[in-house]
Amino acid sequence: MAVDPRWPVALVRGAVPVALGLLLWVAMAGGEQDRQHTLKAQPGADAASLTQRRRHNELIMAALREAAETDDNVAQRRVPWRK
């Protein structure tokens, strides 16, 4: 039973993109710790700012949820919304 001579070429052609992808992934993963450190050092990354941002996002999501559930034009309401 002879091996088709095209098999080694096909294997190499299939392995090259996989190897390149693996090398690129390793290169990018190496800088991940530096990126995480840079993100933590940015202003607004402290606990108080994150809590305030979460609360703001919760209020926006509540407004969007209410707007989706009603047929009223919520854009015309006064700024301090009353439920």
pTM of the predicted model as reported, rounded to 2 decimal places: 0.41
Q: Label residue 47 exposed, middle or buried (CB < 10 Å: 0-12, 13-18, 19+).
A: exposed
Can you give the residue ranges of every domain in the chain?
Answer: 9-33+46-71
SS3 content of the chain, % helix, strand, coil (to 5): 75, 0, 25
Quick: pLDDT tens for 6-50: 998 999 999 999 999 999 988 887 777 788 888 888 877 778 888
